[in-house]
Amino acid sequence: MTSNINRRSFCGVLLGAGALAGCGSISTPGRDVGGGHDPADIARYGARPDELYPLPATDISRVNRKWLRQAVAYDGYETPGTIVIDTQARFLYLVQEGGAALRYGIGVGKEGLAFEGSARVGRKAKWPRWTPTPDMIAREPERYGPYAGGMAPGLDNPLGPRALYLFQGNRDTLFRIHGTTEPLSIGRAVSSGCIRLFSQDIIDLYDRVPTDTPVVVIQDGEIDRRPAPEIAAAPYPAAEGGDYDRWEAEPARW
């Protein structure tokens, strides 16, 4: 099995860091609806009443199953524990032992396209505070201007329940991996933000990765996405398609 990743993007290039400080956008949490998905998928994205701000279930009824958290085969040379972000394909991989990875669907905002290369998780935060960038305020002053001084944590906060802050050495790249209040933005290019995951997925990723976890961000490559049935049973299903493509043809609203 041959990996198709373009290794040129592993150089550690930092582009346009000044535009990244306030990843996020504002909307409303998803409804508690499961649609026709497998019960295990519905449970995986269920409510989290134990959170500081009790988190409602994410509505995955109109989400293609490929964007849901699942185990896949992985043929890159990154060591287990590495996070690999493929912005074009809209996937984040947490590399596992034995040629496998956990794959998470992502939404990629404008700020998420301004960085590629190698970094590390320099800081982790539960229910983080969010501040929009000056560019975001200038672009949509009515939407973001009221939050110029920052937005307190909570269900309406665009960073969601968790955030991972990427550093190069001791320097904050201003690139974030975070949650979202817009579930249907997963799998999409969106107007603002860095790398956003479903709320339940960013909690899962946060719990799996420590500070100093290596991160590779790829802007122009591809990763082998063949399923790994031998991994599927523990505890995530193998990657596959789905019958939930209908929303992908709709205009983006974010």
| CA quadruple 155, 128, 185, 85: dihedral sign | negative
The answer to whether the CB of 182 falls within 8 A of the CB of 247 is no
Q: Is 79 buried (19+), middle (13-18) or exposed (0-12) by CB count in 10 A?
A: exposed
- Write the CB contacts of 173 (distance below 8 Å, at least 6 apart in sequence): 14, 17, 20, 115, 119, 166, 167
Residue ranges in the chain assigned as alpha helix (H): 39-44, 134-139, 141-144, 199-208
3-class DSSP assignment, residue 226: coil
Residue corresponding to tokens 């709709």: 250
Candidate list 11, 23, 37, 194, residue with the active-site label: 194
Candidate list 11, 23, 37, 178, residue with the active-site label: 178
Residue corresponding to tokens 């209040």: 181
Calpha distance 164→175 (Å, rounded): 9
Catalytic site residue 11? Answer: no
3-class DSSP assignment, residue 201: helix
Catalytic site residue 194? Answer: yes
Residues marked as catalytic: 178, 194
